[in-house]
Amino acid sequence: MEPLFTPDIHVFYEHTKIPLAVYYVEGSGFKAYLVSEGFCEMYEATHEELLERLNSDDPLVNIVEKEEMQKAIEAFSDNDDAYNVVFHEYIGKDRKLKTVHGVGIHEYTRDGRRYSIVRYDEISDRSRRFLFRDEEKEMAEREKLLAEIDDAIARSYTSVIYIDTEDQTVYAVRLNRFGNTLREEGEKDPHLRHVIDVYVRSLVYRDDAKEVLRFGDFDYVMERLKETNPIFYTYRTIRDGRIVYYRLKIIPFDNGRKLIYGFEHFDSQIRERIAREAEQETQMTLLAGLTCEYESVWLVDAAMHHGKLIRSNMGDTISNEEMNKVIEGNYEMILGNYIDHYVVPEDRERVYLTSSLEHLIRNTKENEIYHINFSRICPEGERNYIQLSVARVTDDMGVIRFVIGFRNIDAIIEEEKNRNMLYSMAHIDNMTNVNNRRTFDEHMDSSAKRRPTEDTVFFSFDLNELKEANDSAGHEAGDELIIGAAQCMQSILGPFGKVYRTGGDEFSAVVNIPREEYDSVVSRLKKAFDGWKGKLYPKLSISMGHVSASENPEMTLDEMRKEAEKRMYAMKADHYMQEGYDRRRRGKW
């Protein structure tokens, strides 16, 4: 661009660090030209970025008081005197608010056109706060107010009004075409009660009018906001002769000095929800037909705390007549009455807790069945094992429902007892109650092809001086040592995995211990062994070897076993060396 000002000024200022710019009028537009590099540094932008902004349709876009700045520009253009201008501006990509001072003088081109040379400097934050504290406060409040109103409008509300909580006057921020038809009547008395009254009389469906009118009562709204913030309320309106669902949202802002009322067109969401509920009701009916194994099946709406019996399979019995006297109502009352009358006393507190809606919402998951087992005395006098099964269903609107079934599990419990007994006989060592050698071999076989995780640890144990205990204090003392060793291992390692008795006085453990807890667990295990005291034998001595998968991620579990046994035998040899025992001669050296 050919500079409009004198060449000597351009040469003098072109590379200076002083923020300097030239402003001029070309046609009907206000143009800018940057003279010095200092101008770019001050505004934390490149030369191109600043030119693009200053020569745009709105060169004052970042200045807070745009109207005031425009007036200042017009004023200082009226004569040839030097002038000062002070303005607040957002500078840089993070839009930091700064106060800028400019000193301007007028010059003329050779053909008589006038332009301004303005030199800028930034006023310090401290000076700005002192000089403009009142303006800054008002400006900050105005910016906050506008941002929050913009935020409310941005939430897809068709109409937005805000209410001054001091005098309850209403200001329309945005109205749709239906609201605009009421603007004139509402402005006759722009107070909350009157405006809501006009709205309800004109547009709200008659069956919902009474409840919506309550939101014109300022005291009622403020009380509601203490309980729930924001307030949501869905209602029906009449639009073009048809019923349409709307939702009102009430939001306090500006430190409680204002309320936003947002009116949202909510018809499609509500109608979709109604359709889903109808479909879900059908599904529940079908589900009821598939739940023949349950004595009764209930549908519970968590938000409404409402339970409804959807199937009873108890037939024409005293139990059916007594237990299903109430088939619909408050969930807590129905369930509480059932627990008080039929659940055995020792199970009541647990069933109260685990079947509460609060507990179910916190502990159940979609696509999983949650079970609560308890004992019941039925009206015929029989004692049954009962299982309460809960399935959780959450729809697209976030509404939570539970399908709850009660069934007799006497046969299942008996089968489980028999299965556990058979398993215990086959897999649990009857002396120590830890897993036996068969269980250990099954685990090693099933893990042969799997690489252990990083926190897997293999322990190998062997009791020291067991024969000496048997010879000196009897086999009962030897059994006491074996049981004591198993108890110590189970108490420390049980929470992390499984302990196995793999031989007479030999044990193994396969556990998963976080690396940060590894040393602590080993230390506690040693303390447990050292602190054991028997009635028939005074001490417990155990050789122990352990290896972590983190030592070598390429090891298999069987390789870890061999390494742990190697370390255990080395510890055992060291123990007998220190004690002076010759194991081959069964005595002291």
User: What average pLDDT does this structure show over 395-415?
Assistant: 80
Quote the mean pLDDT of the chain: 81
Tell me: pLDDT of 359 over 50.
Answer: yes
Residue 588 is predicted with a pLDDT of 44
pLDDT > 90: what percent of the chain? 26
| Complete domains list, the chain, with CATH | 7-124 (3.30.450.20), 140-265 (3.30.450), 274-413 (3.30.450.20), 428-588 (3.30.70.270)
Residue 154 is predicted with a pLDDT of 44
Please tell me which residue, 375 or 122, carries the higher pLDDT value.
375
Tell me: pLDDT of 587 over 50.
Answer: no
Q: Which residues are within 8 A (CB) of 123 and not within 5 positions of it... i.e. 6 or more apart? A: 86, 98, 99, 100, 101, 131
329-335: long-range contacts (C-beta < 8 A, 24 or more apart)?
330/305, 330/306, 331/300, 331/305, 331/306, 331/307, 331/357, 332/305, 332/356, 332/357, 334/307, 335/307
**Mind listing the pLDDT tens digit for each residue in 441-499?**
999 998 877 889 999 999 999 999 888 888 888 888 889 999 999 999 999 999 999 99
Helices 331-342 and 345-354 cross at an angle (nearest 10°) of 160
Residue 527 is predicted with a pLDDT of 95
Please tell me which residue, 370 or 100, carries the higher pLDDT value.
370
User: What average pLDDT does this structure show over 142-160?
Assistant: 59
Using omega within 30 degrees of 0 as the cis cutoff, is the peptide bond preceding 230 cis?
Answer: yes
Helices 557-579 and 437-446 cross at an angle (nearest 10°) of 140
Residue 55 is predicted with a pLDDT of 74
Residue 500 is predicted with a pLDDT of 96
pLDDT > 70: what percent of the chain? 81
The pLDDT confidence band at residue 142, using thresholds 50, 70 and 90, is low
Distance separating alpha carbons of residues 460 and 479, to the nearest angstrom: 19
Distance separating alpha carbons of residues 283 and 285, to the nearest angstrom: 5
**Mind listing the pLDDT tens digit for each residue in 303-357?**
888 988 887 877 766 766 777 778 888 999 988 988 998 999 999 999 999 999 9
The tokens of 300 are what?
């519970």
Torsion of CA 359, 361, 365, 369, to 10 degrees: 60
Please tell me which residue, 255 or 203, carries the higher pLDDT value.
203
Torsion of CA 405, 410, 412, 414, to 10 degrees: 160
**Mind listing the pLDDT tens digit for each residue in 527-573?**
999 999 988 888 899 999 999 999 998 899 999 999 999 999 999 99
